[in-house]
Amino acid sequence: MNTSENIESRRSIKHYDPEHVMPEADLQELLRLTKLAPSSFNMQNYRILVVRNPELRQQLREVAWDQAQVTDASVLFILCADLKAHQADPSDYWGHAPQAVQDILGPMIKPFYDGKDQLIRDEAMRSSALAGMTLMLAARDLGYDSCPMVGFDPDAVSKLINLPDGYALSFMLPVGKKAEEAWDRGARLADDKVVSYDRF
């Protein structure tokens, strides 16, 4: 499929074939492509938890309104945001770049974020959202469906997955082979409700 087809055919699928096992090669390709998502200063401050353990997924389903896709999709991804990524050694992000680039970007990162908790959280959530959208489109291209989810108890999920200090939950993302078609797509708002030009 091309990009337009992936966007147009991507739907939030609720029912999956619970017998389907995602080949390891497909999983690794999804992760490879997801990691190409853009992020500020190339910090890649999304974190991707791959959940395949059936017992853990059942526990997660119990704190996610008993939604079947948590257990029935081939893989459950949980997108998280690293709120401390700006404190890492800049060479983690730019060590490969020419020295002139390192000298410009490296020293900028910490001062740009230090003391700006809202910006740190916003940036990390933006990065996890961009990674999640990249994952969904990559999954569609490989013949999989997905369903971004925020319908869960974040405290309970955090405990179940041992969410590290300095991380924030973003959303769950089941990926697998659909067992039922999605409902008709919801109506799109008119342009005059969502699009403005130059100024609001």
Distance CA(156)–CA(148), nearest Å, equals: 18
Report the chain's mean pLDDT, rounded to a whole number: 96
Sequence ranges of the domains in the chain: 3-181
- 81-100: string of b/e by CB count within 10 Å (b at 16+)? bbbebbeeebeebbeebeee
> Span 81-107, mean pLDDT?
92
> Using one digit for the tens of pLDDT, what is the confidence trace for 106-146?
899 999 999 999 999 999 999 999 999 999 999 999 999 99
Q: Report the SS3 class of residue 82.
A: strand
For domain 3-181, give the fold.
NADH Oxidase (3.40.109)
1 pLDDT more than 80? no
Enter the pTM of the model. Answer: 0.94
> Using one digit for the tens of pLDDT, what is the confidence trace for 5-63?
989 999 999 999 999 999 999 999 999 999 999 999 999 999 999 999 999 999 999 99
